[in-house]
Structure 1
Amino acid sequence: MNIFQDLNTMITDMLGPFGGILLLGFLGVVMILVTLPTVLKRPDDPLDRLKASVRAPAAKASEKTERLRAPSRKDKLEKYANFLEPQDAEEYTAAKLKLLRAGYKSKNAVRIFHFSQFALGILGLALGGLYALLKMQVQDLSSQDLMIMLLTPGVVGYMLPKYWVTRRVAARKEAITNGFPDSLDMMLVCVEAGQSLDQSILRVARELKAGFPDLALEFETVSQEMKAGKGKEAVLRDMSERCGVQDISSFTTVLIQSQQFGTSIAEALRVYAAEMRDKRVMRAEEAANKLPTKMTLATMMLTVPPLLLILIGPSIYGITQMMGSGN
């Protein structure tokens, strides 16, 4: 009994009044990290193998269509795929599409994204625990403050990859929208010069690589898929989904309809390029009209206080001097 009391006293002196809780939490995290590889590498249950062998003939025919990912021997995270990736086809497709729109086109992008969330969350918890230990040696902390110190870095680390991908999607959409009218003008010039649509797309991709690399990469992908023999309509629709920009969607619809109805692609590009130029001018005017409203608060904060000080300051100073001399 004295041994437990001495141990409790030692833990309390080292870690503070919540030392036992912190020690148990740290041991729990260590046990989870130690047992996680063992759980993920556990052997298959014979009953599960029997059920799989019974279902194998029916599932073999639809394996290619229902498979969410292609395994790779070089990927070190392949054995943790069931833990790091969503198993629902809709969730996996949505996550993959979002990462594509952010510019991450690797086949393991979804797996790496979820691994980053898991790793940064664990790292945040570890850093929060270390900070809490150092803080408890200086002052006493309540249980609420202790939980905030432990959980806040973990939540921030878990949400950081999602925030990064969201910002990347927004920045990429803006870059594609800004460079799209110029690409249409270049494409119109190439088509009117006698080049085919495939050649004009490739030429535009080469010319835009320095100024708008994201849009140039999309056009280059379209050109390579067309060379590989993929249908033009499917290639254009895939480009529209990857970009997630309304202007690109309208552009692909125009090209598909021109191909289906046999109309002139040059005429369609001329009309659509003029519309995109007008739209860019309207976006610039909209941004310019928003600027005075955005600057109103800054103008008031930086202009009104000095102006009041200059106008009212001497009067206030004279009044205080007069009242002081009167007293």
Structure 2
Amino acid sequence: MNSPGPTLLGFDVILVGSLLAGLAAMAMMFAIYTAVTIKDPMAKRVKSLNDRREELKAGIITSTAKKRASLVRRTDKTDKVKQQLEGMKVLQESQIADVQQKLAHAGYRNKELAVFVIGARLVLPIVFGIIGVLMIYVIDYFPDWGGVKRVGALGALLFAGYKGPEIFLKNKASKRTDEIRKGLPDALDLLVICAEAGLTVDAAFNRVAKELGRAYPELGDEFALTAIELSFLNERKKAFDNLAYRVDLEAVRGVVTTMIQTERYGTPLASALRVLSAEFRNERMMRAEEKAARLPAIMTVPLIMFILPVLFIVILGPAACSISDAFAAKPGR
């Protein structure tokens, strides 16, 4: 019979080492795959931008209100969900407008998805509640839980079902806003260069979108869509207002205000954008300094819990072993 391998804390060292080696090999293969198969981050957004261009072009060409209404992206499922929600008296115009703006902040262009989000907030608590009742009370999957814990778990499921879609949109919008904030100073610098080179505003936005599309896909997407709307909309102010509507960022609102003022009063665009770019760079530097100042306080807990115990073991371990060996070698009285 073969003798078992070495163990550490009750675990087979050879088995654990083999599993870790396999995971490391899989991680290395995945890293190589992701490095080799580099995809253009703007490729998925090109189709939606082209669709928006065609919609604006068709909206200018067509003259009847019926054809204009057909441009709105609606489906039979959307109409059915909207009719059911209106029949239940749970659909309000203010609620739809609020969800539509959250969808725009998260990067979703189709405003009709707001109906599905509102419907999900109504259906998911019921579904999660039924699943929770079946798992906790009927099947009794957790027999050790007391009454308070069961009620708390059921309440947590109901809360997750109601707030889940909103939390998802909020997290996605937050990540997207951070990515746009990072690339905005560089985009303004490129806009200044394009303005000084004599390009028009829509051509400048289109050029910046192409240059920054790989580094900052979200910002490139917004600038490309703004360039399309500047080319096709009757009022250029509407295109800038749409940019401020889609991005939940105060800096973008400042850029939009500057653009509208330069269009209205004829003030120099390059000088105004240069001032805004300097302010945004100073703001980004202040945020970096703030994170650096918080670093010592954040590192205190990991230092106490993980680093100091290991340091004490490394320093005092040999001395403790020597003392133990000395006492063990001393003959007894």
Distance 1:283 1:140, change over 3 A: closer
Contact 2:100 / 2:114 at 8 angstroms: preserved in 1?
A: yes
* 1:136 counterpart SS class: coil
Partner Cα separation in structure 2 for residue 280 and residue 217 of structure 1 = 22
Contact 1:128 / 1:151 at 8 angstroms: preserved in 2?
A: no
Normalized against structure 1, the TM-score is what? 0.67
Counting aligned pairs with the same residue, the percent is: 27
- Cα deviations across residues 39-66 of structure 1 (Å, max 9, x unaligned)? xxxxxxxxxxxxxxxxxxxxxxxxxxxx
Partner Cα separation in structure 2 for residue 85 and residue 95 of structure 1 = 17
Out of 83, 93, 96, the position equivalent to 1:89 is 93
Aligned residue identity for 1:89: E
- Matched with 2:196 is 192
* 2:140 counterpart SS class: helix
Distance 1:83 1:108, change over 3 A: farther
Normalized against structure 2, the TM-score is what? 0.66
Partner Cα separation in structure 1 for residue 257 and residue 89 of structure 2 = 33
Deviation at 1:163, TM superposition (A): 1.4
Q: Which structure has the bigger radius of gyration?
A: 1
Contact 2:125 / 2:158 at 8 angstroms: preserved in 1?
A: yes
Aligned residue identity for 1:212: Y
Aligned residue identity for 1:308: F
Partner Cα separation in structure 1 for residue 153 and residue 283 of structure 2 = 49
- Matched with 1:19 is none
- Matched with 1:66 is none
Contact 2:190 / 2:208 at 8 angstroms: preserved in 1?
A: yes
Out of 86, 107, 111, the position equivalent to 1:107 is 111
Equivalent positions of 1:1-327 (< 5 A) are 72-73=75-76, 75=78, 76-82=80-86, 87-133=91-137, 135-136=139-140, 139=143, 143-310=147-314, 314=319
Deviation at 1:311, TM superposition (A): 5.2
Partner Cα separation in structure 2 for residue 85 and residue 220 of structure 1 = 39
RMSD of aligned Cα (Å) = 3.4
Distance 1:247 1:137, change over 3 A: closer
Partner Cα separation in structure 1 for residue 279 and residue 141 of structure 2 = 67
Higher relative contact order (CA 8 A, sep 6+): 2
Q: Which runs of 5+ in 1 are unaligned?
A: 1-68
Aligned residue identity for 1:286: E
Contact 2:240 / 2:256 at 8 angstroms: preserved in 1?
A: yes
* 1:218 counterpart SS class: helix
Question: How many residue pairs align between the two structures?
Answer: 259
Aligned residue identity for 2:292: A
Contact 1:240 / 1:248 at 8 angstroms: preserved in 2?
A: yes
Deviation at 1:111, TM superposition (A): 1.0
Question: Which is further off, 276-285 or 141-150?
Answer: 141-150
Partner Cα separation in structure 1 for residue 262 and residue 196 of structure 2 = 15
Aligned residue identity for 1:283: R
Deviation at 1:144, TM superposition (A): 4.0
Q: Which runs of 5+ in 2 are unaligned?
A: 1-71
